[in-house]
Structure 1
Amino acid sequence: MRWINLCIFMGLMLPTLWAQNTQEIRGRVLDKTSKQPLVGVTVLLFESDPVLATVTDFDGFYRLEVPLGRQQIEARYLGYEPFLSKPLIVSRAKELTLDIELLEAVQETGEVTVTAAAASSGNEAINELSVVSTRSFSVEETERYAASINDPGRMVMAFPGVQANQDTENDIIIRGNSAVGVLWRVEGLDIANPSHFARPATTGGGITVFSASLLSNSDFSTGAFAAEYGNAFSGAFDVRFRKGNLEKREYTFRAGLIGIDFAAEGPIKKGRSSYLINYRYSTMGLLAKGGLYVVRENASNTFQDLSFNLYFSGPKNKNRFTIFGMGGLSQEYWWMLPKDRWKNSLDYVWDANTSNMGVLGTTYTRLIDDKSFFKMSAGVGTNYLNDYQIEPTVAADSIYWLERNNFLTTKFSWHGVYSRKINRQLRIKAGLISTYHLWDLEYGLFQGDSLGYQNYLGQFTPGPRRPLTAAYFDPAQVGDIPTFDGEGELGTAFSQQAYAQASYHLNEKFTINAGAHFLFLALNQDWALDPRLSMRYELSQNTKFTFAYGLHSKMQPFGTYMLSFEGADGALYQPNKNLKFTRAHHLIAGLEQMLTPRLRLQVEGYFQQLYNVPISTDPNSNFWFYNLRDNYGTIPMLSEGKGQNYGVDLTLEQFFGKGFFMLFTASAFRSTFKAWEQDYRPARLDNRFSSSLMATKEFVFKNGGVLQLGIKTFFRGGLHHPQADIEASRELGAFVEDQEAAFDASFPPYFRLDTRLAYRKDLKNFSYTIGLDIQNTTNKRDNWRSVEYDRNLQTIVLDPNTGFLPILSFQVNF
């Protein structure tokens, strides 16, 4: 009788015990092209034994109970290509929602078996029209990669074709192209620079405002991208937000040396609508007071941001509506060190920098019929940059204003997309993007004692020189920014983009995508029509060949168009207003080979020809706009410059399996420029070679804990830099470039090692992760990033990157 009772007890308890070590994954399976739900799709746990599987219901929804730990989900459906997700972390504390989009196969086949090779382990682009130089990434990757600190901008630095050039900045340098050429798109809206500590006229900064809690799987393209991406010539980020939990309230708390982070999500109306919100506050300013400096011992950085996504669905989910937003505030303060410690201008610079941004948008998706849908995105985005920079005179008894900028830009955007699946072989997609731009720009610069202070945007008076007082050595006084009388350069402009593209599958092996993108700017009536073409041929399940050509056009920053100069008659004129779009031909050919079911080799060769690049109107000048690190320029320009980027990218990737992941990339390339009739010369970003290695190993313990060890290394050629004409610089009191030498000189090679140590554990009602990321683990201090002229020393000084930086973090999900 005891044994019978024990068996009954165990039979009742086993489901409970099983439930304690499992979690539910749920979501919806849709047709990738029409967004219609798919009924009867088999959804199962990858390589499970016995098989754990379920099928989707009439509305395409599924629920699957899976064991805790790192898992992958696959989907099988007759007539559709197989799907395999990226590795997912399944924990007790947080339910997972995984929406799956399947692409209809050209020929209806029988039963298929999913392998890592067949589905490329989830790294294929979400956008089916992006078949070349594009890969998707997940939020888990932004957390897993060593020293990426949940920032997609820093994470992709280890991707093929991307060169890491800075320690403290997340500028995305793709195949030798300036970061100016990168497009950021969020939920269908093209946005400006999404980074804290942003700089004018570029897309980089310190760390993006994107919250890891809001990110969904997104795409990153490095060349010859699809026709729907315009006003960019370098790369494209297509960022997507996920919807909050539709059934249960959940919370995430993160704390670390960088700051604190809190996220909440849950249903508004169960099963139909949800909220997801995240707030992050940086404590880097407090670290500086404690003696730990992220940038330098006389620099303090603080930031905070707020992001949210509200999701609503109509009856039968034919109408979907979202309201999303993100905003960030950041300040960077520099104060002067004591006079006896002055070695170069970095020791006595006084700088107060503010960088704020915000985006508020909405999307509406309508399923028109079983083969087509329409999606609309609309919103407003604004960016505000304010910077005051001061240096003492050579006598060190007074100060003058070195640089001042005050930039406010706003744009209202609307993006409509129509997509239709004509049949199994042909899909079409077309869209229209309308944007209204507004700006209020002020920019002035001290250019040496003989030239003095000059306004380039707006008109204001910097005031007389002031005595050097103790306030400039006090960090508490740095935030007291003085004001000036004057007005900025006010302006508005309208831009229009339109695109159409089609994907045609000749058979199950050969796919061709073709389209065109149109760009128009009413400010100067400039326009461009860019053709795009890409092809993929699958020789076998393990071997693919790709080819792409695209012409890409990019507007100049509005501050560059509006630069003002004083003519011989004393009147102001704007010679740059009629600058043309920069245009770039992209040509890419690639091979992808699966060496084993989880080991992939990819090789891509590329050639880019840039033209219409702004250069100086002086035929003796070597000025080329994209050699600038940032800002709008200070000279009259014309669209006569050219550039060439060409090289080979190699990728060897071990997909995550059996607790191990590895990504090795190597590039050999040239980045050159040409001004006037001169020969092609090395550009600032002509590193010649670049390589990176990322690897992660996880150890699973019997108690359910997981230890994670990770490394990330960068090794590349040094940045090229301008050489100074020393005598002319001393005479002027400012940096004067040697026009003959241009960017022929370069820094020594750059090397950096980042490491990660983390421990993850599931408990009954919550899970936690403790992590330690170390940037520049070897404390290499001779990674130089720029060369400057020091007015007090009257010589050239080098600006270094940062040294050893540990980042401790603690995360709780409950």
Structure 2
Amino acid sequence: MRLFISFIVFNLFTSTATFAQTLTQTIKGQVIDAESRQPLAGASIIVTSVQPIKGGQSDANGFFKILDIPVGRHTLKITFLGYENGLVQELVVGTGKEIDLTIRLAESLQQLDAVTVKASAQNGTALNDMATVSARSFSVEQVKRYAAAINDPARMALTYAGVAGNSEQSNALIIRGNSPKGVLWRMEGVEIPNPNHFAEEGSTGGGISALSVNMLGNSDFFTGAFPAEYGNATSGVFDLKLRKGNHEKREYALQVGVLGADIAAEGPFSAKSKASYLVNYRYSTLEMLKKAGIQIIGDAAPDFQDGAFKLFFPVTQRSVVSLWGMGGLSRQIRHRTTQNDAFHSDRAVAGLNFTHFISEKSFVDATLSWAANRQTYDASRLQQVYIREENFTNQAYRLSLQFNHKFNAQHSLRTGIIVSNLRFQLLNRTTDGTKVSTTLNQQGDTYLLQAYSQWRYRISPVLTLNAGFHATLLALNQQSSLEPRGGLRWTLAPRHALSAGFGIHSRTEALSTYFAEVKGKEGTISFANKNLALLKSAHFVLGYEFRPRDDWRLQAEAYYQRHYDVPIGTINTKSAVWRTESLLNLMNGYTTDSLVSDGTGRNYGLDFTIEKFLTKGFYFILTTSFYQAKYTARDGVERNSRFNGKFVQNILLGKEWKMSRNKTNTLAVNVRSLWAGGNRYVPIDLAQSKKRNTTVRIYERSYEEQLPNYFRFDTRISFTKNRRRTTSTVSIDIQNLFNRTNLYQPFYDSATKSLQFDTQLGLVPILNWRLEF
């Protein structure tokens, strides 16, 4: 570690012969119509942050290139006759990599005499033009920059309004008081398995992200009332995009840090075409040190590796093919005095995408994909016959077809179908002495069928309507859902906008829940949960946005969500748990008890955001959310849900200083404070726990109790040095800088016969070094 740190310091601070030379880089990309994706020839691209101003024009295919832009942060203004202006801010230019952008412009409507409409800045606006409310875009640069994000999109999203966490050891997201199980992950337009290492069955989060910032492009994040194309989600959506590799120049990136060491490469296949490749591979740094004989945290060291790729081929002027994929392997093996444990959690996805432009107004996207995730857990006690076996293997073969047509500047249509063949092999078995207990042992396949259509109608330059529907059918039990969606945005004055959105949303359970084996009185086995309905959630959102300047945004949203067809205990249940419990409270996993879809719930709240985007070396985000999350189980009592923290507040800010004689290097400090309501839990009956010498909970009072408020302060300090052909960055993220001991959950300690509390992580420093060339 001393050698590693010494190398970084030497690399960053030694002088070079090019110290007095102006360091520059190329900005290039393509300008396209936001709805038809047709290239816009003759668009003007101006770099407004340099003096004298530099710029260029897009060619017949919409491509542009601006040479010799000084390193640093820059702002681009894009104009094209008949289109609304575009604005790109926070653009980081370094010597190590060229900047390659895809800029989408919206066609202008005829201006009304009494109304003047100024195009809003692109910063934060969702890439999906069908989005109206509760949506925003994020950049890879933000994922790398935000304090406590540590290159993870999910941890970065914890900064946004309405988003909270439950455990510092997981990036699972509690969005507007909803279970993390309701989050949908998409990549390149199709659903993918949970993209996190050490993820458990039925979860959408994990300990470490398997996504590489070297691969991701600008993407969207939704917190409610999603557009019609998003199905199988009830709380949130990550719509991830993979960027293309540089089709003109070979470029590389190396990164070494506490969490992992990775390498990325990209470049052209041929100088005669715009075909490109982009690949990335990462391996756990702690596991590498362990194999070298340096054991820092014992047997519990996270062992993981992941990789990703995208191959891009323009087949003809009207057709494009891309082959992409990502995968990750993770395991944790512990050898104890009395027990051995082995946990594996793996995932993979690969897709073939074909885009064909039928005409100047229509195109079709077709994607074939395969996805798989597997979780296994094996435990054995060394001094007695005890074996526990878990094996959850899920695969999905998907065909996604989407047709897009732009009728004119006012009307556009997007419609599609998704056919998913879901295959599963599920086992949960325990051997204790001579007794074998099996709660799950199934394999087979089923289908999930989805169809959607959405229409965008720009009624006037100040009023836009998005409307559509999503339909879902689970062939396993013939359960279906028809889900209307709609959104309206009204620019009531320059820089002021009101919005409204609604939608019905549904989600399937983990397949293991449907096949949980329930034993009858005579030893018969049935699948009591096989006919569970799709869990449904109706979202209603009202929003207001004010942009006093291009780099400032003030936003407020009020929302109400009604959940129904929620799995809860049966009428005759004898389980103390399921008289008061609901699947709205589960983080992951499945249950072996009989359930019926009779439960309900409701969430409501207010989200506030004040945001200054990064300009002149400074940015600032303040988010405050007040919310309530309730559920009703079998006993008919409405209770606080497990995730009803009631409030969450984030303050994130950062400052950058230009260093060196020519201002080519950058020192950056980013800090974040998080204050939120504590975790809720089922109270423990201490007297009965002492009497029985085991934990006894008071289920009639489920989630009445709440731990003290959670507080954490994080910081990130980085130094970036640009040389003639390389950019290197050293950073240190310090999570929980003040080493505050936040409580996680209570438990009964049979040794001391007292109530104790598990705690969250203390101070965690994460050192990282990155080189681009």
TM-score calculated relative to the size of structure 2: 0.92
Pick aligned residue for 1:89 from 89, 92, 108: 92
Q: Say whether the 8 Å CA contact 2:181–2:586 is kept in structure 1.
A: no
**Aligned partner (choices 702, 705, 713) of residue 753 of structure 1:** 713
- 1:756 CA drift (Å): 0.5
Query: Residue in 2 aligned with 1:13?
Result: none
SS at match of 2:762: coil
Which residue of 348, 351, 357 corresponds with 2:341? 351
Q: Deviations over 1:565-600 (max 9, x none)?
A: 211121111100000000001011011112344222
Quick check: 2:684–2:698 contact (8 Å CA) kept in 1?
yes
Per the alignment, in what secondary structure is the counterpart of residue 309 of structure 1?
Answer: strand
Q: CA separation in 2, counterparts of 1:109 and 1:644? A: 42
- 1:34 Cα offset (Å): 0.9
* Partners of 1:158 and 1:164 within 8 A in 2: no
Q: Give the 3 Å change call, closer, same or farther, for CA 612–799 of structure 1 in structure 2.
A: same
**CA offset digits 1:306-354 (Å, max 9, x no partner):** 10000000232x1111000111011123454x8xxxxxxxxx8853211
- Cα–Cα, structure 1 residues 628 and 787, in superposed 2: closer, same or farther, change >3 Å? farther
- Percent identical among aligned pairs is 36
1-structure distance, mates of 2:525, 2:284 = 43
| Secondary structure class of the residue paired with 2:156 | helix
In the TM superposition, what whole-angstrom CA distance separates every residue of 1:456-480 from its partner, at most 9, and x where no partner exists? 112xxxxxxxxxxxxxxxxxxxxxx
1:121 offset after TM fit, Å? 4.4
In the alignment, structure 1 residue 638 sits paired with structure 2 residue 623: no
| 1:708 alignment partner in structure 2 | 668
1:465-504 pair list within 5 angstroms: 489-504=442-457
Partner residue in 2 for 1:455:
438
1:205 aligns with 2:170: no
- Kept after mapping to 2: 8 A contact 1:80/1:108: no
CA contact (8 A) 1:248 1:267 kept: yes
Q: For structure 1, which segment, 246-255 or 629-638, has the greater mean C-alpha deviation from structure 2 after superposition?
A: 629-638
Q: CA deviation at 1:747?
A: 1.1
Structure 1 residue aligned with 2:233: 232
Give the Cα–Cα distance (whole angstroms) in 1 for the partners of residues 410 and 546 of structure 2: 25
Whichever residue aligns with residue 258 of structure 1, its letter is L
Structure-2 residue corresponding to 1:6: none
Distance 1:615 1:730, change over 3 A: farther
- What corresponds to 1:72 in structure 2? 75
After superposition, the C-alpha distances for 1:125-180 in whole angstroms (9 at most, x for unaligned) are: 00011121000011101100112111111111111110122212110110010111
> Quick one: distance in 1 between partners of 2:506 and 2:166?
25
CA shift at 1:734, angstroms? 5.8
Any idea what the Cα deviations from partners look like across 1:598-624, whole Å, max 9, x if unmatched?
A: 222111010101011111114661011
Residue 682 of structure 1 is aligned with which of 635, 640, 660? 640
Give the corresponding residue for 2:219. 218
Aligned to 1:279: 281
Counterpart of 2:46 in structure 1: which amino acid? L
* Residue of 540, 560, 566 corresponding to 1:607: 560
- Does the aligned pair in 2 maintain the 1:44–1:53 contact within 8 Å? yes
Question: Is the Cα–Cα contact under 8 Å of residues 248 and 274 in structure 2 kept in the other structure?
Answer: no
Which consecutive residues of structure 1, in runs of 5 or more, have no partner in the other structure?
1-15, 339-347, 393-397, 459-488
2:640 maps to amino acid: P
Distance 1:203 1:692, change over 3 A: same
Q: 1:405 to 1:725 in 2, by over 3 A?
A: farther
Q: Secondary structure at the match of 2:269?
A: strand
Q: Deviations over 1:719-755 (max 9, x none)?
A: 1011234566678776443221111111111111111
Deviation larger for 123-132 or 42-51 = 42-51
Contact 1:390–1:401 (Cα < 8 Å) also in 2: yes
Aligned counterpart, 1:172:
173
Mapped to 2, the partners of 1:741 and 1:400 lie a distance apart of 38
Moved more, 621-630 or 349-358: 349-358
The residue type paired with residue 602 of structure 1 is Q
- The RMSD of aligned alpha carbons is 2.6
1:186-335 to 2 correspondences below 5 Å: 186-270=187-271, 271-285=273-287, 292-293=296-297, 299-316=300-317, 318-335=318-335
1:406 matched to 2:407: no
For the residues of structure 1 that align with 2:92 and 2:543, how far apart are their CA atoms?
Answer: 32
Structure 1 residues 290 and 17: alpha-carbon distance in aligned structure 2, compared to 1, 3 A threshold: closer
Distance 2:691 2:477 in 1: 39
Residue number among 522, 525, 528 corresponding to 2:478 in the alignment? 525
The answer to whether structure 1 residue 594 and structure 2 residue 547 are counterparts is: yes
Structure 2 counterpart of 1:558, from 511, 516, 523: 511
Q: Displacement, 1:786?
A: 3.0
CA distance in 2, matches of 1:732, 1:557: 34
- Give the match for residue 806 of structure 1: 765
| Cα contact 1:272–1:314 (8 A) shared by 2 | no
SS at match of 1:661: strand
State the AA in 2 paired with 1:769: T
SS of the equivalent of 2:121 reads helix
**CA shift in 2, pair 1:94/1:522, >3 Å:** same
Q: Find the aligned partners of 2:503 and 2:693 in 1 and give their Cα distance.
A: 45
Report if the CA contact (8 A) 2:171-2:208 is conserved: yes
Change (3 A) 1:108 1:80: farther
Q: Which amino acid aligns with 2:330?
A: S
Is this contact kept in 2: 1:78–1:109, CA < 8 A?
no
Secondary structure, in 3 states, of the residue corresponding to 2:252?
A: strand
The answer for the alignment partner of 1:466 in structure 2 is none
Report the equivalent of 1:378: 368
Letter in 1 for 2:358: I
1:69 CA displacement: 0.7
Instruction: Check 1:440–1:792 CA distance in 2 against 1; reply closer, same or farther (3 A cut).
Output: farther
1:142 is paired with a residue whose SS is helix
Cα distance change on mapping 1:391 and 1:594 into 2, 3 Å: farther
Return the TM-score normalized by structure 1.
Answer: 0.87
CA 1:315–1:717: 2 relative to 1, 3 Å: same
The 1-side partners of 2:697 and 2:435 are apart by: 18
Contact 1:301–1:333 (8 Å) recurs in 2:
no
CA 1:237–1:113: 2 relative to 1, 3 Å: same
- For the 8 Å contact 1:505–1:511, the answer to whether it is kept is yes
Give the distance between the partners of 1:590 and 1:378, measured in 2 at CA: 37
Structure 1 residue 256: Cα displacement: 1.3
AA of the residue aligned to 1:327: G
Q: In 1, Cα distance between the equivalents of 2:385 and 2:109?
A: 69
Deviations 1:770-804 (A, max 9, x none): 101111111112x2223445566666543222111
Contact 1:86 1:123 in 2 (8 A): no
Q: Output the CA distance in 1 between the equivalents of 2:175 and 2:637.
A: 23
Counterpart CA distance in 2 for 1:81 and 1:399 is 73
**Cα shift at 1:269:** 1.9
Amino acid at match of 1:764: R
Q: Residue 264 of structure 1 contacts residue 277 of structure 1 at CA under 8 Å; is this kept in 2?
A: yes
Alpha-carbon distance between aligned partners in 2 of 1:735 and 1:528, rounded to the nearest angstrom = 41
User: Which of the numbers 83, 101, 105 marks the counterpart of 2:104?
Assistant: 101
1:40-59 equivalent positions in 2, closer than 5 A: 40-59=42-61
Q: Which residue matches 1:63? A: 65
Question: Aligned letter for 1:455?
Answer: T
Q: CA deviation at 1:298?
A: 6.2
Secondary structure (helix, strand or coil) at the match of 2:445 reads strand
Instruction: Give yes or no for contact 1:153–1:207 (8 Å, CA) kept in 2.
Output: no
Residues 1:286 and 1:39: Cα distance change in structure 2 (over 3 Å): closer
Alpha-carbon distance change, 590 to 69 in structure 1, aligned in 2, over 3 angstroms: same
Q: Does the CA-based 8 Å contact 1:45-1:51 persist in structure 2? A: yes
Cα distance between partner residues in 2 of 1:777 and 1:391: 39
- 757-766 vs 164-173, greater mean Cα deviation: 164-173
Mapped partners of 2:700, 2:161: distance in 1 = 34
Shift of 1:253: 0.3
Secondary structure of 1:122 counterpart: coil
